[in-house]
């Protein structure tokens, strides 16, 4: 695997390039539009039921900010509490270290069951395990569809959002699960029968964590299908991989997030399955519990006063469902485990390489409309972080055609006479207009028209019109 951070997918094109291909896929756009429109409406309704929603958001923001300010203290507290209750804590600086730890803990196991986890996707755990001859079975239905289809997830919460029923049936059929129809109930039953065999035969389970409580050492997983609970209780050994920022100080803090998360993500008042466990309990659940605390770029992100707010994220995916860019391009265009608006600000920070063109293109994947901030349950000001990261990306590029054009524009705008001359020159662009739009400009203007149409300049600049008619 080398030292590459697997948070971005190897060989992914930059966002504009990937988006162009995605936009041409009308089926994909239809699937996405249907899914995001439905979930948007349901979320708005679920959130509208709570008169203190804004206060809850502010409470969530404050708790997360407190955690980020005192992360070292809370993590040490968590480690002490987990250890005192019979668990083992492991610290992983990066993806390679985390994968090595999990692989070592798997011992002789050749197959493990997994409950959906962004952290393990972020470190490319399945691939690392496969390279060592260990098969990881995804047990979340959507994650299973992606895995069996040899596909990539396109949504944080609904990884197979880009697939419709008949596509899913075809994937199951090719994998030998053989559902008789594309009725959702029949599809779910085929997956259930397949997974039940795995739950009962695997000795090791791997999970992520939504939260971990520092003062008791309890770990919390929220899911909707019950597969998580099977993973967390049936196998003999449980390995949890958790990003450092998922710690919360006390049980009382969970009260806030257990309201914010379900309504923001699945538009439910309460999460269907909320599992918590604290170390090990003889005769009940796993005999061994290991908690792998993952850094992988988080402490570097923490050092940036603007960018660090991305670490407040509770992975609800509300920002994806309202993003006009995501709705048209889908999650795979982001080329990262984290798609949509949160991916656009988190991925470049975790990758932490301003010369990585693919990651550096992500903060530009937004219309800056602000819809993502409006819905974010922990009030991450995504538009501000986007512009901050855009500036960083432009700075890292050094002198480029874009920076030269911007400098020239600043010079023109600084003088009224230069501005007027430029306007007259600009009206020459009318020569390239077609059907009321300019879709192609020669020279440096091509950089603009390659990704958007330019407006047709007025025949007569406003200042000239004013001088003639009112001056
Ligand atoms: S950034 Fe906010 S809205 Fe988006 S996934 Fe994270 S918590 Fe949810």
Please give the full DSSP string across 86-115, using - where no structure is assigned: T-EEEEESSHHHHHHHHHHHHTT-SEEEE-
The CB of 311 under 6 Å from ligand 1? The reply is: no
The CB of 314 under 6 Å from ligand 1? The reply is: yes
The CB of 346 under 6 Å from ligand 1? The reply is: no
The CB of 265 under 6 Å from ligand 1? The reply is: no
**In the CATH hierarchy, which fold is given to the domain comprising 75-296?**
Rossmann fold (3.40.50)
3-state helix, strand, coil in the chain (%, to 5): 55, 10, 35
Give per-residue pLDDT as tens, 43-60: 999 999 999 999 999 999
Tell me, in angstroms, the distance from the centre of ligand 1 to residue 148's CA: 28
Give per-residue pLDDT as tens, 394-420: 888 877 666 677 778 778 888 888 888
> Hey, whose CA ends up nearest to atom 4 of ligand 1?
319
Give per-residue pLDDT as tens, 339-357: 999 999 999 999 988 789 9
Looking at the chain, which residues constitute the CATH 3.40.50.10420 domain(s)?
Answer: 75-296
- The answer to whether the CB of 361 falls within 8 A of the CB of 354 is no
The CB of 316 under 6 Å from ligand 1? The reply is: yes
Tell me, in angstroms, the distance from the centre of ligand 1 to residue 316's CA: 5
Tell me, in angstroms, the distance from the centre of ligand 1 to residue 404's CA: 35
Give the long-range contacts of residues 229-232, CB within 8 A, separation 24 or more.
229/273, 229/275, 230/113, 230/139, 230/195, 230/199, 231/113, 231/114, 231/115, 231/139, 231/199, 231/205, 231/206, 231/207, 232/115, 232/205, 232/207, 232/275, 232/277, 232/285, 232/286
The C-alpha atoms of residue 212 and residue 74 are separated, in whole angstroms, by 10
> Hey, whose CA ends up nearest to atom 3 of ligand 1?
376
Mean pLDDT (whole number) for 184-189: 90
DSSP H or E stretch at residue 415: none
> Hey, whose CA ends up nearest to atom 2 of ligand 1?
376
Least confident of 18-32, 201-215, 221-235: 18-32
pTM for the structure as a whole: 0.86
Mean pLDDT (whole number) for 66-77: 98
Q: CB neighbours of 201 closer than 8 A, spacing ≥ 6? A: 111
- The answer to whether the CB of 311 falls within 8 A of the CB of 68 is yes
The CB of 292 under 6 Å from ligand 1? The reply is: no
Rounded to a whole number of angstroms, the distance between the first and last alpha carbons of the chain is: 70
């Amino acid at each position: 695997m080398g030292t590459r951070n697997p948070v971005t997918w190897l060989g992914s094109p930059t966002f504009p390039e990937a988006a162009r291909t995605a936009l041409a896929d009308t089926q994909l756009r239809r699937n996405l539009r249907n899914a995001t429109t439905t979930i948007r409406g349901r979320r708005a309704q679920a959130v509208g039921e709570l008169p203190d929603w804004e206060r809850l958001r502010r409470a969530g923001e404050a708790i997360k900010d407190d955690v980020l300010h005192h992360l070292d203290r809370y993590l040490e507290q968590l480690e002490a509490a987990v250890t005192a209750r019979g668990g083992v804590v492991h610290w992983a600086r990066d993806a390679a270290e985390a994968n090595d730890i999990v692989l070592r803990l798997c011992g002789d196991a050749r197959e493990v069951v997994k409950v959906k986890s962004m952290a393990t996707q972020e470190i490319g755990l399945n691939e690392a395990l496969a390279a060592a001859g260990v098969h990881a079975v995804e047990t979340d239905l959507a994650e299973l569809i992606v895995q069996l289809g040899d596909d990539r997830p396109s949504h944080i919460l609904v990884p197979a959002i880009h697939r419709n029923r008949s596509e899913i049936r075809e994937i199951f059929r090719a994998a030998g699960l053989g559902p008789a129809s594309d009725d959702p109930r029949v599809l779910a039953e085929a997956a259930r029968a397949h997974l039940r065999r795995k739950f009962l035969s695997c000795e090791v389970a791997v999970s992520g964590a939504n939260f971990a409580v520092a003062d008791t050492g309890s770990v919390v997983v929220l899911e909707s299908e019950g597969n998580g609970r099977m993973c967390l209780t049936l196998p003999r050994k449980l390995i949890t991989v958790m990003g450092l920022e998922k710690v919360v100080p006390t049980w009382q803090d969970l009260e806030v997030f257990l309201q914010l998360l379900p309504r923001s993500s699945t538009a439910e008042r309460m999460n269907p399955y909320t599992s918590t466990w604290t170390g090990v309990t003889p005769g009940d659940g796993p005999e061994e519990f290991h908690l792998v605390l993952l850094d992988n770029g988080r402490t570097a992100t923490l050092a940036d006063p603007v960018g660090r707010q991305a670490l407040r994220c509770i992975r609800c995916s509300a920002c994806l469902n309202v993003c006009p860019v995501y709705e048209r391009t889908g999650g795979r265009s982001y080329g990262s485990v984290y798609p949509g608006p949160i991916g656009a600000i988190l991925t470049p920070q975790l990758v932490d390489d301003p010369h990585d063109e693919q990651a550096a293109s992500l903060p530009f994947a937004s219309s800056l409309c602000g819809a993502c901030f409006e819905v974010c349950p922990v009030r991450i000001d995504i538009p501000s972080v986007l512009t901050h990261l855009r500036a960083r990306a432009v700075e890292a590029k050094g002198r480029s055609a874009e920076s030269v054009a911007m400098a020239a524009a600043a010079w023109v705008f600084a003088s009224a006479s230069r501005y007027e001359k430029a306007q007259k020159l600009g009206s020459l662009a009318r020569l390239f207009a077609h059907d009321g739009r300019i879709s192609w400009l020669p020279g440096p203007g091509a950089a603009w028209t390659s990704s958007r149409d330019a407006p047709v300049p007025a025949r007569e600049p406003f200042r000239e019109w004013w001088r003639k008619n009112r001056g």
